[in-house]
């Protein structure tokens, strides 16, 4: 059977594979486009398996929101260049939509996209297109009747905030604040006692002998003031609000009659040990100059 240009074009549009790969698959399947598509999909899975051990610490955070549900997904690539590729971006957006119906990453991998493919099948296809390891790494979600905001900054940081009271604009503003300031804790009362005890030890060690000799009640006030400042710095409620730095987040919430129930923040690649490449040294080595 003659492998026409229109047949190759149809298979390319269907699979996203390269022209020569499509032509080869069609030739081997004697022009049967369904068989060729299946072969290309299997080829994509094989490529995915081969690349699975390569470090993927770049990538993108995508968000989706509907019917009181909000999700963030982190999908990783090996390079920031691929993270900006149209195929990769489209994949992350499609996966975020599918994540609205998934409770965890494992369930998400088997979820169906609008295209009919599973997330895993689509991931293999993206790997075949971009030539890098691609991993669906993390999922964060909130399912609530309260105000929920999902905010993504530059594709690199994603935040979910659940707000009781207030309104959607305040929830989004707080999500932007969390993206910018990255508070480890919500309220001051959430800061662990062992952290506070350690900070007290540090502050006491930093004091001069003259200050240490002051009466216990005065010393306690000095240390207490320093600790209160540190606790505010590491809690959302205690931080100056990024959209109105004259007020703390706590003051803004009080004025709105609102309360932050909780928040989640994902940043691309956090916790992954990145491989640092010295390309100049590698080139010199190959050229026999090192």
- Least confident interval from 14-18, 215-219, 286-290: 286-290
Question: In the chain, pLDDT over 70 holds for what percent of residues?
Answer: 86
- The predicted pLDDT at position 9 comes to 84
Q: Decide if 139 contacts 104 (C-beta within 8 A).
A: yes
Q: CATH 1.10.8.10 residue ranges in the chain?
A: 5-51
- What predicted TM-score, i.e. pTM, was given to this entire model? 0.75
Distance CA 15, CA 47 (A): 15
Taking alpha carbons only, the member of 89, 72, 59, 64 closest to residue 179 is 72
Distance CA 36, CA 25 (A): 5
Q: What is the pLDDT of residues 194-243, one digit of tens each?
A: 999 999 888 878 777 766 677 778 877 888 889 999 999 999 999 999 99
Q: What is the pLDDT of residues 225-237, one digit of tens each?
A: 899 999 999 999 9
- The predicted pLDDT at position 290 comes to 53
Q: CATH 3.30.479.20 residue ranges in the chain?
A: 54-143
Instruction: Give the residue-averaged pLDDT of 12-39.
Output: 79
Per-residue pLDDT band for 46 (boundaries 50, 70, 90) equals very low
Distance CA 208, CA 57 (A): 45
Question: In the chain, pLDDT over 90 holds for what percent of residues?
Answer: 58
Per-residue pLDDT band for 278 (boundaries 50, 70, 90) equals low
CATH number of the domain located at residue range(s) 5-51 in this protein: 1.10.8.10
- The predicted pLDDT at position 45 comes to 46
> Where does 84-140 have alpha helices with state H?
86-99, 105-109, 119-130
Instruction: Give the residue-averaged pLDDT of 20-44.
Output: 80
Q: Decide if 65 contacts 150 (C-beta within 8 A).
A: yes
Average pLDDT of the chain to the nearest whole number: 87
Q: Does domain 54-143 have CATH number 1.20.1740.10?
A: no
Alpha-carbon torsion (79, 115, 100, 159), positive or negative: positive
Q: Which residue has the higher pLDDT, 287 or 106?
A: 106
Residue indicated by tokens 């190959």: 286
Instruction: Give the residue-averaged pLDDT of 91-118.
Output: 95
Distance CA 89, CA 160 (A): 20
Residue indicated by tokens 């000799």: 213
- The predicted pLDDT at position 55 comes to 58
Q: What is the pLDDT of residues 163-195, one digit of tens each?
A: 999 999 999 999 999 999 999 999 999 999 999
Quote the distance between the C-alpha of residue 247 and its chain's center.
29
For the record, the structure tokens of 127 come out as 């790997």
């Amino acid at each position: 059977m003659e492998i026409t240009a229109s047949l190759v074009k149809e298979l390319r549009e269907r699979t996203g594979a390269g022209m020569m790969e499509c032509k080869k698959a069609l030739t081997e399947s004697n022009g049967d486009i369904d068989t060729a598509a299946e072969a290309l999909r299997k080829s994509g899975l094989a490529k995915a398996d081969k690349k699975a051990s390569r470090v993927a610490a770049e990538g993108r955070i995508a968000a989706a929101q509907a019917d009181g549900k909000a999700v963030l997904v982190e999908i990783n690539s090996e390079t920031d260049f691929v993270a900006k590729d149209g195929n990769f971006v489209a994949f992350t957006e499609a996966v975020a939509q599918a994540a609205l119906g998934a409770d965890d990453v494992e369930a998400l991998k088997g979820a169906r996209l609008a295209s009919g493919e599973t997330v895993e099948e689509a991931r293999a296809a993206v790997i075949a297109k971009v030539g890098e390891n691609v991993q669906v790494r993390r999922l964060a979600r909130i399912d609530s009747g309260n105000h929920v905001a999902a905010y993504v900054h530059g594709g690199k940081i994603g935040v979910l905030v659940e707000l009781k009271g207030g309104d959607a604009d305040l929830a989004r503003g707080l999500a932007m604040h969390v993206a910018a300031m990255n508070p480890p804790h919500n309220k001051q009362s959430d800061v662990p006692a062992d952290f506070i005890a350690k900070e007290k030890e540090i502050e006491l060690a930093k004091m001069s002998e003259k200050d240490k000799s002051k009466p216990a009640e005065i010393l306690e006030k000095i240390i207490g003031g320093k600790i209160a400042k540190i606790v505010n710095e590491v809690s959302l409620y205690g931080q100056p609000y990024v959209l109105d730095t004259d007020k703390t987040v706590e003051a803004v919430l009080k004025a709105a009659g609102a309360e932050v129930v909780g928040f989640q923040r994902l940043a691309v690649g956090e916790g992954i040990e990145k491989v640092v490449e010295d390309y100049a040294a590698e080139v010199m080595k190959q050229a026999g100059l090192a």
